[in-house]
Amino acid sequence: MSTFYITTPIYYVNDAPHIGHAYTTINADAFARWHRLMGDDTMFLTGTDEHGLKIQRTAEENGVTPLEQADSTSVRFREAWEQLNISNDDFIRTTEERHHLAVQTLMQKAYDNGYIYSDTFEGLYCVGCEAYYTEDELDDGNCKVHERPAEHMSEDNYFFKLSAFADQLLEHYEQHSDQVRPDGYRNEVLGLLRQEVRDISISRTSINWGVPVPWDDKHVFYVWYDALINYATAVGYGADEDRFGTYWPAAHHMIGKDIIRFHCVFWPAMLLAAGITDLPKFYVHGWLLIGGEKMSKSKLNGVTPKQLIEGDDEQAFVPFGVDGVRYHFLRDPSFGPDGDFSYEQMIVRYNSDLANQFGNLVQRVITVTGKKCGDLAPSCDGDSPLKAEAEKAFTATTEAWARAQPPIALDATWRLIRETNEYLAAKEPWKMEPGADVDRVMGDSLEAIRIVSILASPAIPVAAQLAWERIGMTGNVDDQRLPDAATWGQYAGGVALTTGDPLFPRLKG
Ligand code: MSP
C-alpha cells in the first residue's frame, strides 16, 4: 500500500480564519480524500503556529497572555475546519510538548552536525512577516506585504549554515521536476537557489515566547524554524521512528506562494542538516485576492467561511452550504496563479455545476425511475454508451489529481455528469413505455450517478453521500476504493430509491 502525507501551513493565531486560509485547507482536504479513495494510507495534518513576536504583540494588545491568545484563536480554526468538513487526522499546535521535543531534537542534531554557529545580527525586520529584509527588498523602508516600516533590530543570534546546502538543493530541484508544482513555482525556487544564498539567523534573545534552544536557554528559536518542524513532529519525529519512517518519505506540503522560500529552501536544508535525506514535495497556490489585494486582518478585507456557508444578511450573501463553498474554492481559482475572489462567479458556478448539472441529474433520474421502473431500481447494462464516458472521466480525473490540478479533476468528473444529462435528453425516458428499454436507460444513469458520487466526494462529501444513499447504495461513499469502484457495471438495482429535497437548491444572485 502506498502512503500519502499531506499538510497545510500552520496558521498564525493573531488572525481569525478567513477564506484565504480556507482555500488552502479545502484544497489539502480534497487531496487527502482523493488519496484515501485511491487506497493510500493517508495522513492529513493542519494546525496553528503559536509562537513569535507577532503573537506576543497581538496578545499584549488584547490584554491576554500569548497562550490565552493562542488557545482562543486555535479553537476558531478548529471550528472553522469542522464546519467545512475538513477530514484532518491531526491538529497540531506548536505550543504542545510533543512539538517542543521534536524541535529541540532536530535542531540539536543540526547543531551537533556543525551547521549552527553564533554571531551578531543587525537588520531590518518586518514583524508582520516575521522576517528580515535587505533595503532593496523593501519599498522605501516599508514591507511590501504589510505596507508598514520594517524595524531595525540587532541581537546575538544563532545562525544556520544555509549556504552549505545551496548546491545540493539546486541539484535536487533540477533533477526532480515533480518536487514543486505547478512548474512556474519550481522555476521560482531554482531562481532563489541560483542567487547568493546567505546563512540565516534562527534564534532570538529579545523575546521568550518560543521554543528554548536546548544548548543555550537564553535563546528561543525564531518562530519560522520552530514552525516548519511541525510537519515532522506530527508523524513522530524523535518519538516514534517507525511512524516517521512510514509517513515522512510521502510528505506533501500545500502552501501559498508567500511562503515558498521558507518551505522550499530553508526547510529542506534544515532536514538535510539533521541527517534526513527524504525531502518533501510542494503544491503551491497563488493568492486569493479581494479587490486586487491579498486578504488579511490588517486590511480588514477578510471574508469568513461561515459567512459564505450560512449566508450573511449584512453583506447580502446567500447561503452556499458547506459543499457549495468547497466546490467553488476547488473548481474556480486555477491552481497556481493569483485569483480575485468573486461572489458573482460563486453563484454562477453553484447554479450551473451543482444545482443544474449534478443536483438535477440525481433528482430527475430518481423521479423518472420511480415513475417508469416500478418500486425497485433496474440494474445497469454492461454495454452502455456511458461506459466509455465513465472510463474517460475516471482516467482524466485521476491524472489531474496526480498533477495537482483540482479544477481540471473536477471538470473531468463533471463531464460524466454532463454526458449523462445529454444521454437522458437524447433518450427521453420520460416519454417511454415501461419495459426493458427504459430500464436500461435508467439503470445506466444510476450507474453513472454511483460513479460520479465517488469521484466527486473529495469536493462535495455531503452531497456525494446523500446521492449515494438516494440511489440505494449502502455504506459510505468515502469507503469506496479506486480504481475498482469506478469500473462500469456494478449498479445491481433491486433496491428502493429515495426522493428528497434538492441536493443543491438554486440560489438567487
Ligand atoms: N504561520 C505561517 C506558516 C507556517 S507553516 C510552517 C503563515 N501563516 S498565515 O496564517 O499567515 O498563512 C498561512 C497560509 O494561509 C498561506 O501560506 C496561504 O496558504 C494561506 N493564505 C492566507 N491568506 C491567503 C490568501 N489571501 N490567499 C490564499 N491563501 C492565503 O504564514
Task: Tell me whether residue 35 is one of the annotated catalytic residues.
Answer: no
**Res 401 pLDDT > 60:** yes
Cα–Cα distance for residue pair 421/407, rounded to 1 Å = 21
- What count of other Cβ atoms lies within 10 Å of the Cβ of residue 94? 26
Place of cell 534564534: 203
pLDDT (tens digit per residue) in 111-125:
999 999 999 878 898
CB-based contact 102:239 (threshold 8 Å): yes
Lowest-pLDDT range, 169-173, 316-320, 502-506?
Answer: 316-320
In DSSP notation, 319-340 reads P-HHHHHHHHHHHSS-SSS-EE
**Res 300 pLDDT > 70:** no
Residue 80, all three cell numbers? 472553522
Task: Tell me whether residue 264 is one of the annotated catalytic residues.
Answer: no
Task: Tell me whether residue 218 is one of the annotated catalytic residues.
Answer: no
* Distances 364 to 28, 323, 427, 430 between C-alpha atoms, Å: 33, 20, 13, 10
pLDDT at 299: 59
Largest CA distance in the chain: 87
State if residue 9 touches ligand 1 by the CB under 6 angstroms criterion: yes
* Options 21, 35, 99, 263, the catalytic residue: 21
* Domains of the chain, each with CATH number or no CATH: 3-285 (3.40.50.620), 347-486 (1.10.730.10)
Task: Tell me whether residue 387 is one of the annotated catalytic residues.
Answer: no
DSSP E strands in 377-496: the ranges are: none
Query: Mean of the pLDDT values across residues 149-161?
Result: 90
Q: Are strands 288-290 and 339-340 parallel, antiparallel or unpaired?
A: parallel
If phi > 0 it is left, if psi is from -120 to 50 it is alpha, else beta; for residue 39 that is left
Mutual angle of helices 19-37 and 321-331, in 10-degree steps: 90
Nearest by Cα to 211 from 203, 202, 219, 220 = 220
Under DSSP, the state recorded for 464 is H
Residue 105, all three cell numbers? 531534537
Preceding peptide of 182 cis, ω within 30°: yes
- What count of other Cβ atoms lies within 10 Å of the Cβ of residue 207? 17
State if residue 98 touches ligand 1 by the CB under 6 angstroms criterion: no
Query: Mean of the pLDDT values across residues 368-374?
Result: 96
Cα–Cα distance for residue pair 124/113, rounded to 1 Å = 30
Task: Tell me whether residue 263 is one of the annotated catalytic residues.
Answer: no
**Res 1 pLDDT > 90:** no
Residue 254 CA, ligand 1 centroid: distance in Å = 10
Place of cell 515533480: 178
**Res 134 pLDDT > 90:** no
Place of cell 556543525: 114
Cα–Cα distance for residue pair 320/312, rounded to 1 Å = 11
CA atoms within 13 A on the CB side of 45: 28
State if residue 220 touches ligand 1 by the CB under 6 angstroms criterion: no
Number of H helices, E strands in the chain: 19, 17
Cα–Cα distance for residue pair 431/81, rounded to 1 Å = 46
* Distances 271 to 196, 242, 251, 309, 318 between C-alpha atoms, Å: 20, 17, 12, 39, 46
pLDDT at 11: 97
Q: How confident is the model at residue 296 (pLDDT cuts 50, 70, 90)?
A: low
- What count of other Cβ atoms lies within 10 Å of the Cβ of residue 44? 25
Inter-residue long-range contacts of 427-430, CB under 8 Å, 24+ positions, other chains counted: 429/368, 429/372, 430/368, 430/371, 430/372
Looking from the CA of residue 259, the nearest atom of ligand 1 is: 17
Under DSSP, the state recorded for 258 is G
pLDDT (tens digit per residue) in 316-354:
889 999 999 999 999 999 999 998 888 899 999 999 999
Q: How confident is the model at residue 130 (pLDDT cuts 50, 70, 90)?
A: confident
State if residue 294 touches ligand 1 by the CB under 6 angstroms criterion: yes
pLDDT at 292: 77
Cα–Cα distance for residue pair 413/62, rounded to 1 Å = 47
Phi, psi of 492 (to 5 degrees): -90, -10
Residue 256 CA, ligand 1 centroid: distance in Å = 6
State if residue 92 touches ligand 1 by the CB under 6 angstroms criterion: no
* Options 109, 146, 257, 392, the catalytic residue: 146
- Residue 3 pairs with which residues in a beta bridge? 41
State if residue 288 touches ligand 1 by the CB under 6 angstroms criterion: yes
CB-based contact 139:183 (threshold 8 Å): no
CB-based contact 453:475 (threshold 8 Å): no
- What count of other Cβ atoms lies within 10 Å of the Cβ of residue 116? 21
**Ordered alpha helix ranges (H), 89-165:** 97-112
Coil vs helix vs strand at 53: helix
Under DSSP, the state recorded for 359 is I
pLDDT at 301: 64
Q: How confident is the model at residue 298 (pLDDT cuts 50, 70, 90)?
A: low
CB-based contact 442:429 (threshold 8 Å): yes
Task: Tell me whether residue 299 is one of the annotated catalytic residues.
Answer: no
Query: Mean of the pLDDT values across residues 189-193?
Result: 97
CB-based contact 199:160 (threshold 8 Å): yes
Under DSSP, the state recorded for 488 is T
CB-based contact 378:437 (threshold 8 Å): no
